[in-house]
Amino acid sequence: MNLLRSAGLQLHVTSLPGGRLGPQAHAFVDWLADAGQSWWQVLPLGPPDEHRSPYKAASAFAAWPGLLAEPRAAVGDEEIAAFRARQGFWLDDWERYAGPGSVADQVRFDREWGELRAHARTRGVRLLGDVPIYVAPGSSDHLAHPELFRGGAVAGAPPDDFNPDGQHWGNPLYDWPALQRRGYRWWIERLRRSFELFDAVRIDHFRGFVAYWAVPEGVTTAREGAWRRGPGRAVFDAATAALAPSAARRAWAPGEPAPTSPLPILAEDLGAITPPVTRLRRELGLPGMVVLQFAFDPEDPRGPHRLERHEERSAAYTATHDTDTLRGWWESATPAVRAGAATALREAGLEGDVPWWGLLRLLYRSPARLAMSQVQDVLGLGSDARMNRPGVEGGNWDWELPAGALTAGLAGCLRAATAEAGRLPHVA
C-alpha cells in the first residue's frame, strides 16, 4: 500500500442520513471532495448481529441488504448468472444460509456499490474498507467451513488497563494448520472480494497473525485465556502469490528501508503490540496505525502514538470507532493528559482554536502519510455521538449524521486545514 500524503474521514454507511446507499452516499462523496479529502473509510459491510455490530456479521463476503437504497430494484437472470460465475467461492454457502432472494440482494448491492465507487473515482475519493480478523459464531462462514475452525476455545483479548477482565469476544478461532493445508484459500478469497469492493482495506486485530488470545470455552471472562502462536506471514505470502503474482518477495532485515506491500492493506496494530508484531508488519511493508488520543499519556513518554514518533508510512487517527469522540475525550481526560495536549497545541501555535479542532490540525501535521478523523470529530460532537463502547452490548452502532450538518462552510474549513498540512489530493 503506497500511501501519498492525504487525509480522509471515517463514517459508516449506516451513519449516513437514512443509513443507506444512494443519493446520501453520493452526496457525502461530493462533500468529501469539496473538503479536500482523499479517503472515505467505512466499517464492515456484512449483515450485522442483533446488537447492530458489523464486526459480528453473518458473512465475511456478503453485504447487508439493509444498506440498499433500492431493495426492490429488478434483477435479471443474466445478472444473477454473471454474479454467480464471479462469486462462486462463497455465494452458494450464503444462499443456503440466507434463503431465497439472497443472491438477487447481492447483485443489487454490487450494482449500487459499483455506482458509488465509480462516482467516488470521478471525484478523486478512494474507499477504505475494514476486514475483521475473525468471523461471527454461527455465521455462514462458520457453518459452511467447520473444518477451518478449532474447538475448545474462542477469541478474546487479555486484561489491560481499560479491561481488567480482558475482552471475551466469543468468535471462533481459526485452525491455522487446517488453513495451511488448504493453501489459505479461504483467506485469499476473502481478500480478493475485499479488493473488488475497496481501494484498500484495514485488517482489524493484525497482531492476531503473530499470536492470538485463546479463551477456554465456558468461562465468563477472558482472564483465563492464553497466547497461542498465529500463522505469521504465511497468509500474506499466499495472498500475494494469488492476487499480485508479479510482486517479488525479498528478505527484509531491521535497519533496511522497509518494503512496500503489493497488497492494499493497512494493519490495525493497536493494543498489546510486541516487537514481533511490529517486525512482521514492517517485513510485509504494511502501514500501521497510531491514535492521537493515546499521544499524551504522561506515563508513556516514548510511546508510538506521540506525534514525533509517528512513522511516515502509517495512518494517524484522531479517534477510532471504538474510542470516544475527540471532544468527548478532551472533556473527560485527566488533568495530566489534558495538560499534555494543551502544551502540544500551544507549542504548535494552535491554542486559539477550540481544542478538538486544534487537535485535528495538530494531527494533520503528523509525518504519517495518511491522516484520518471521524466525521463526529470534524463536527465537534461529544460522547453521545460515539459509535461504539467496547464490552457494552447495547446502545452502540446507531449514531446517524444529522441531515444538513455537513455544510459548505465546514467543507471550506476542513479543506483549508488539509491544504495547510499539504494533504490535498494529488493530481496524476
- Positions annotated as catalytic residues are 204, 268, 322
Q: Is the dihedral of CA 91, 95, 97, 102 positive or negative?
A: positive
Distance in angstroms (rounded) separating the CA atoms of residues 182 and 148? 9
CB 260 within 8 A of CB 2: yes
| Surface-to-core class of residue 37, CB atoms within 10 Å of its CB (0-12 exposed, 13-18 middle, 19+ buried) | buried
Give phi and psi for 237, each to the nearest 5. -65, -40
For 65, 140, 142, 335, 420, the CA distances from 97, given in Å and listed in that order, are: 14, 6, 11, 52, 50
Closest by CA position to 279, among listed 239, 316, 243, 251 = 251
Give the containing element (helix H, strand E) for 38.
none
CB 314 within 8 A of CB 288: yes
Closest by CA position to 80, among listed 57, 61, 59, 100 = 100
CB 399 within 8 A of CB 386: yes
Distance in angstroms (rounded) separating the CA atoms of residues 206 and 422? 29
DSSP 221-238: SGGG-EEEE--TTHHHHH
For 6, 34, 374, the CA distances from 413, given in Å and listed in that order, are: 16, 10, 15
